[in-house]
Amino acid sequence: MKRGRMVYEGKAKRLFEVEQPDVFLVEFKNDATALNGEKKGQIEHKGELNNHISTAFFHVLENAGIATHFVETVSDTEMLVKKVEIIALEVVTRNIAAGSLAKRLGLEEGTVLSRPVVEFYYKNDALGDPLINRSHALAMGFATRIEIDYLEDQALKINQILREFLLARDLTLVDFKLEFGRLNTGELVLADEISPDTCRLWDVYSQEKLDKDRFRRDLGGVTEAYQEIWRRVGGTNA
């Protein structure tokens, strides 16, 4: 697959044009950022691992009837995706209190929530991706009321699918971030990635963190944690 012009570079990925007009090539990078970009570094093999892990999750979700932008994986660090107009909302689903939710509500990290919580964040790096509500999203024109209902419904469905999939692999899905986009037909589909960069994943028995929190909190063993997730979800024991 011949790369064309680079159309976007973010914290963790680059996006390139290819010969097919409705498709982009996504390259996953080893770059890592945290704390709204204040902390930066490199995680060895992260690009390769996140590409493979995201591929595994996209397959699981598509097999369960969730529409995604995924087309195919073309190399260790690259996949083809459908072109979408990304909605400026990050959709975060939480099953257990951790990170900003634990701090915001004064909960002990690890507190199991009585039901999943869906939150919306304005996708804007300059503002630190602030938490917003449905009224904000409507007033700012990020999405229609029907689309916001759809995003919340899809987030809860995806949460149920992934929780069951991961629990069978001795992993707890603590929380995760999703992004969605519109195809040129107007259809909403799941986009971006699903990986230890965008999910909190703990071992069921030891509660060991196997995600980007190891980088955020200087816990060490970041590459090893990502490798363990890949081993469980799509590697030798999948």
Q: How do residues 201-228 score in pLDDT, each as one tens digit?
A: 999 999 999 999 999 999 999 999 999 9
Has this prediction a pTM greater than 0.75? yes
What pLDDT, in 10s, does the model give residues 123-165? Answer: 998 999 999 999 999 999 999 999 999 999 999 999 999 999 9
73-79 contacts at long range (C-beta below 8 A, 24 or more positions apart): 74/1, 74/25, 76/48, 76/51, 76/52, 77/27, 77/28, 77/29, 77/47, 77/48, 77/51, 78/1, 78/25, 78/26, 78/27, 78/28, 78/51, 79/25, 79/26, 79/28, 79/51, 79/54, 79/55
Domains of the chain: 6-82 (3.30.200.20), 85-221 (3.30.470.20)
